[in-house]
Amino acid sequence: MCNLYSLTPKRDGVARFFRVSHNRSVAFEPVNAIFPRHIAPVVRHCADGEREIVLMSWGFLRLEKGSAPKPVTNVRDDQIQTNPFWRDSFRERRCVVPAGAFCEPNGDVKPATWHWFAIKGNDERPLFAFPGIWRRYRGPVRKDGPNVDIETYAFLTTTPNKLVSTINHERMPVLLTREEELETWLRGSPGEALALAREYPAEEMRIVQEGLDKEDLLKAA
């Protein structure tokens, strides 16, 4: 499970990478730590077929009797087509989530050591995307709180590769890096999209930071 990631490149660089025109991108600042319930940029198609960057809240909210709704941030690749909580969003509302690194804690160490993973490339944090889904949520976000109307997102996980499994033995996010992968996830059939759910090659990734910081310490680029 991944519950922390960063997006340190600036808005213009993100828009160029995801082929979104300036007038189709909401304003946002680089973020060194994105946690569940935080508001972050998401790329999706508009009604006219063009891509846009919008802001959404991270985590599909699951109502739980007697407590606050729980944000569910990750979607398992073996459940996305069958679990009713995810199924319709996968079929009808796919998006991609821009990122530069993601973080996993080593829970065997007290206090936990936080490991930040990035892909290899010419930049310190080359951009990639998590394949995501989104939906509109209408209801409370706090126990006994007022109803709100917000858009939420979650992203896909799969089995971990050899690098990530040294820290997290169960799951890792699916990572997309090529334009054809982004387009397949956004526009392809469910079968074509789900075929992208595979481990990212361990030899093409690296641990860029480790320690007690729950924040990517790289300055915005």
Which pair of structure tokens corresponds to residue 154?
Answer: 């979650």
Contact 98, 41 (CB under 8 A): yes
Residues 171-215 pLDDT 10s: 999 999 999 999 999 999 999 999 999 999 999 999 999 999 999
- Using alpha carbons only, give the angle 205, 217, 204 rounded to the nearest 5 degrees: 5
Give the residue-averaged pLDDT of 2-18: 96
Contact 73, 1 (CB under 8 A): yes
pLDDT at 30 over 80: yes
Residues 79-103 pLDDT 10s: 999 999 999 999 999 999 999 999 9
Instruction: Give the domains, in start order, of the chain with CATH numbers.
Output: 5-211 (3.90.1680.10)
Neighbour tally for 6: CB within 10 Å: 24
**For residue 190, how far is the Cα from the chain centroid?**
19
Helix and strand numbers (H, E) in the chain are 4, 14
Residues 97-156 pLDDT 10s: 999 999 999 877 778 899 999 999 999 999 999 999 999 999 888 887 888 999 999 999
Indicate the pTM of the whole model. Answer: 0.95
Say how far apart CA 179 and CA 181 lie, in whole Å. 5
